[in-house]
Structure 1
Amino acid sequence: MSSPEQWTHPDGAPPATAATPTAEQVIAGLRATTEGGADLVQLLTPEGERVHHPDFDIDITPEELRGLYRDMVLVRRVDREANALQRQGQLGIWVPLLGQEAAQIGAGRAMQPNDMAFPSYREHGVAWCRDVHPTQLLGIFRGTDHGTWDPMEKRFHPYVIVIGNQVLNAAGYAMGQRFDGKVGDADGEATICFFGDGATSQGDVHEGFVWAAVYDAPLVFFCQNNQWAISEPTERQTRLPLYQRAKGYGFPGIRVDGNDVLATLAVTRWALQECRTGNGPVLIEAFTYRMDAHTTSDDPSRYRLSDELELWKLKDPIERVRVHLVKQQWADQEFFDQIQADSDAIAAELREYCVNMPDPGPERIFSNVYAEPSPVLDAQRDEFLDYVSGFAGGEH
């Protein structure tokens, strides 16, 4: 493993201190993190070759790998269709996950039915794994609702926009699992919380680390390090690889190739099992790359080089699985054609649903404010609706 100094400043390059990193500084940061370091857990290379790891290996059947491939392809198609819908004025904003499919599908499929997930706002792949239909995400980005699924039924918390706040929510929930005696054996429960590399600079994340460590909470901290916190590269946020921060809080940290769905699945299964048997928490740094903008309101060409993107395209998480399936003769053209047809169908369904979404009535802003009825809120609602009804077209 490289030293902290080598990792931060490769080849003696100066750290990025200017308001906008120079091209040389960006390249230095890329070189320092391009392969993830000696501790990176990888089971499927970018060339589609299966490799083995002494501590984190996995037996995968052809059917299971085909399923993971299907998940990633469909989730990417949903992401691209939603991105297009935003550009066409159907959504107010969209948060792309392009390039992070393996990190999310691998982690999502590692969960057991009773586990709980706390997402940020980019976890469309994890939502897919928790049986949250993509159409249920659209209202969030169209501004009509906060998500229409039941978090307890799906075991998937609503999206959180405030950076890092979900980590505190997850820590509290996992502490409750510990207090309620739901950990201690293989049938126990665990919680997994998703956040990005930028969130690790927020106090909420570190407070979550402290509470989870002190109470041995069954919580997997899953950091998707996509190399850019909007326009800030990872090298400007930390002197150490992010997974090494766990050591300071007294629990294990591990870095996995986030573009390798098999390695992510294996490592996350292990981490969740550690937690549900009472050995948590665990920090996973999924080393991946955001191949699109931070959101549709962002222009990544203003702060990163096209060469960087082209390099990461060679590590595409879906392509490496496709190549492996072909090499192993585990999939034929008929299979790939069917996946294409399935992705076309779900894209059409998503578009049809989005274009025809009804606008909510004015009473919508008063719903789900309190868990129980509130006479004061009810009076405010009635007064507001009476006011609105006095305008032309203000019926509700």
Structure 2
Amino acid sequence: MLLRRAIAHIVATRINGTNVVERISSNVRMFSNVTTSELKNDSNLDKPEFPGSKSQFTTELKFLDPTTYDTIPTFRVLDKSGQHVSESYADQLDLNLALRFYKEMIKLNQMDAILYEAQRQGRISFYMTSYGEEATHFGPAAALKDDDLVFGQYREPGVLMWRGFTIEQFVNQCFGNIFDTGKGRQMPIHYGSRELNYMTIKSTLTSQMLHAVGSAYAFRMKGKDQVTLCYFGDGAASEGDAHAAFNFASVLNCPVIFLCRNNGYAISTPVHEQYQGDGIAARGPALGIPTIRVDGNDVFACYFAVQEARKICMMEGRPVLIEAMTYRIGHHSTSDDSSAYRSVDEIRTYGEKEHPRNRIELLLRRNNMFDEQEHKKYKEDIRKEIINVVFQQEKHNKPAIKELFTDVYDQMSRIQEEQFQELNEHLKTYRKHYPKNFKDF
């Protein structure tokens, strides 16, 4: 304490000219005159006062062993049979919301099945399904406000679907036609919507986490009643940008919700080869971030967790980390064959016993809200609608070649104009080697 007073005296003293050394020396002499008995009587000397940590002194030489810590529990509301496991949330289970969750999952599953086959038929170039991870889409989407900003990684189309992105818009983006809001510049599944507050997907893994923190910081600076929800995967958590994002969000008190979809695999790398310790959630407390682990196959667990996380962000001005434990039933993408690194039995087990849609269906059946014929018809109607949309939207031309150069600057630069003319000449000469369905040159 006396040392701190001496230092404070030095800082408070106006230092100028040639008497700097004299003043510092005077303060040092003042501290050196403190007796041992005075130091012993200062009760705060037994507490560490290092600027880098808050702890207590100990005489025990002991390293912390991560294997001796209790693991972070997994919060859930519904078990695999669709039965609520906590009376605390029994009265909060909105069955009408559950019904909508179920129907949206059906729609997403049907869209995934049809567009996956469209890629296999050569109609589109690429696709990624969301089988098994639907609860991590719709639960959080329902818990947010419409103007909350969402940064997806690439496997979260359900959030957009919940907010009103139409089947036509999904299909247009995958075909990259003239109605694609991205003007055909992105590969399939890189959706985005300014109107629905959903940032366009980026192929550069984990870059969205830093952008999300920046947007949340802007909300905080402007005093906005908005939060940012940022998705990332267990593999993305190993990227350097993830660690930087966590730390910046914590230090700057950004209202951002980090939601990790821990689906067991980073493409082909299983989690036991990805990290040691108690998963991604264990990183939150170390960086001063309120953290929870949830059952990512329980849509209501995801819903309540994000709902509470939003309150923490707004009321306490802090970031939140949610680790949603789930399983990727489908292949990583149409470029992947997951049977090369996991067994068919493993996939079948998770598909039959852990699928989020099955859990919601069982909940609805328990409450006499599931009509077999009605849902069968709904599934058939949605499938027909999506197939019809695919047939219609694939007929449209691709955007004009000039769109390759627009939207970089307010107006095309001289160099861009020259490049555009060079490309035009090239296409006129070699047109037969290029697709014929561009709108124009």
TM-score, normalised with respect to structure 1: 0.84
Correspondence for 1:151 among 170, 193, 198? 193
Q: Which piece of structure 1 moves more, 126-135 or 284-293?
A: 126-135
Q: How far apart, in 1, do the equivalents of 2:316 and 2:411 lie?
A: 35
For structure 2, the residue ranges without an aligned partner over 5 or more in a row are 1-64, 177-183, 435-439
Alignment CA distance shift 1:306-1:392 (3 Å) = closer
The answer as to whether partners of 2:139 and 2:303 remain within 8 angstroms in 1 is yes
Write the distance in 2 (CA, Å) between the matches of 1:309 and 1:298.
15
> 1:288 is matched with which residue: 318, 326, 335?
326
Give ranges in structure 1 of 5+ residues lacking alignment: 9-36, 183-187
Q: Structure 1 residue 253 and structure 2 residue 291: aligned?
A: yes
The question of 1:303 aligning with 2:355 is answered no
Structure 1 residue 97: Cα displacement: 0.8
1:50 aligns with 2:90: no
Contact kept in structure 2, 1:196 and 1:225, CA below 8 Å: yes
Asked if structure 1 preserves the Cα contact closer than 8 Å seen for 2:84 and 2:90, the reply is no
Q: Distance in 2 between matches of 1:254 and 1:53?
A: 20
- The whole-number CA distance in structure 2 between the counterparts of 1:252 and 1:53 is 24
Letter in 2 for 1:254: I
Bigger Cα displacement from structure 2, 347-356 vs 222-231: 347-356
Give 1:152's aligned amino acid.
R
Query: Structure 2: which amino acid aligns with 1:344?
Result: R
Give how far 1:331 is off. 2.4
Q: Does 1:123 align with 2:161?
A: no
Q: Of 138, 147, 170, which residue of structure 1 is paired with 2:212? A: 170
Structure 1 residues 120 and 292, CA gap change in structure 2 (3 angstroms): same
In angstroms, what is the RMSD of aligned CA positions?
Answer: 2.5
Which residue of structure 2 lines up, in the alignment, with residue 333 of structure 1?
372
Q: Which residue of 2 aligns with 1:190?
A: 227
Q: 1:323-376, CA deviations, whole angstroms, 9 ceiling, x for partnerless residues?
A: 111111022234313421342233224422453242333223113333554343
5 Å-filtered alignment, 1:213-232, equals 213-232=250-269
Letter of the structure 2 residue corresponding to residue 59 of structure 1: Q
- 2:75 maps to 41
Paired residue total: 360
Contact 2:405/2:412 (CA < 8 Å) preserved in 1? no
Deviation of residue 58 (structure 1)? 6.8
Matches within 5 A, 1:263-278: 263-278=301-316
CA deviation after TM superposition for structure 1 residue 142, in Å: 4.4
Distance apart, 1:251 and its partner CA: 0.7
Work out the CA distance in 2 between the residues paired with 1:69 and 1:267: 19
Aligned counterpart in structure 2 of residue 321 of structure 1, from 350, 357, 360: 360
Q: Please tell me whether residue 106 in structure 1 is matched to residue 139 in structure 2.
A: yes
Distance 1:391 1:346 in 2: 39
Cα-to-partner distance string for 1:173-224 (whole Å, 9 max, x where unaligned):
1111111111xxxxx1000011111100001111111111111111000110
Matched ranges for 1:342-381 at <5 A: 342-371=381-410, 373-381=412-420
Q: Confirm or deny that 1:5 pairs with 2:67.
A: yes
Q: Give the one of 65, 74, 93 matched to 2:98.
A: 65
Provide closer, same or farther for how the CA distance between residues 162 and 353 of structure 1 changes in structure 2, counting only shifts above 3 A: farther
Task: Judge conservation of contact 2:175–2:394 (CA < 8 Å) in 1.
Answer: no
Q: CA deviation at 1:302?
A: 0.8
Q: C-alpha offsets along residues 105-130 of structure 1, whole Å, 9 cap, x if unaligned?
A: 11112110110001111111112122
The aligned counterpart of 1:132 is: 165
Larger radius of gyration between Structure 1 and Structure 2: 2
8 Å CA contact 1:222, 1:285 repeated in 2: yes
Identity between Structure 1 and Structure 2 (%): 29
Q: 3-state SS of the aligned residue for 1:208?
A: helix
Amino acid at match of 1:181: G
- For each residue in 1:57-94, what CA deviation from the matched residue of structure 2 results, as whole angstroms up to 9, or x when unmatched? 77133222111111111111111111111111111111
Shift of 1:382: 3.4
Q: Cα distance 1:193–1:372, how it changes in 2: closer, same or farther (>3 A)? A: farther
Check whether the contact 1:72–1:318 (CA below 8 A) recurs between aligned residues.
yes
- The SS at the match of 2:194 is helix
SS in 2 for 1:389: helix
Counterpart residue type for residue 247 of structure 2: V
Contact kept? 1:139, 1:145, Cα under 8 Å: no
Select the structure with the greater relative contact order (CA < 8 A; seq sep ≥ 6). 1
Q: Give the C-alpha shift of residue 391 in structure 1.
A: 4.4
Deviations 1:122-161 (A, max 9, x none): 1111121222224333455446333897733110000111
- Separation (CA, whole Å) in 1 of partners of 2:431 and 2:359: 58
Residues 1:110 and 1:346: Cα distance change in structure 2 (over 3 Å): farther
Using a 3 Å threshold, how does the CA distance of structure 1 residues 205 and 373 change in structure 2: closer, same or farther? same
Structure 1 pair 80–327 and aligned structure 2 pair: CA distance change class (3 A) = same
Do structure 1's residue 160 and structure 2's residue 160 form an aligned pair? no
- State how 1:63-102 maps to structure 2 within 5 Å: 63-102=96-135
* Counterpart selection for 2:249 from 203, 212, 215: 212
Residue 17 of structure 2 is matched in structure 1 by none
Letter in 2 for 1:164: T
Which stretches of structure 1, 4 residues or more, deviate above 6 A after TM superposition?
A: 147-150
TM-score, normalised with respect to structure 2: 0.75
Query: 3-state DSSP class of the match of 2:132?
Result: coil
C-alpha separation in 2, matches of 1:152 and 1:392: 35
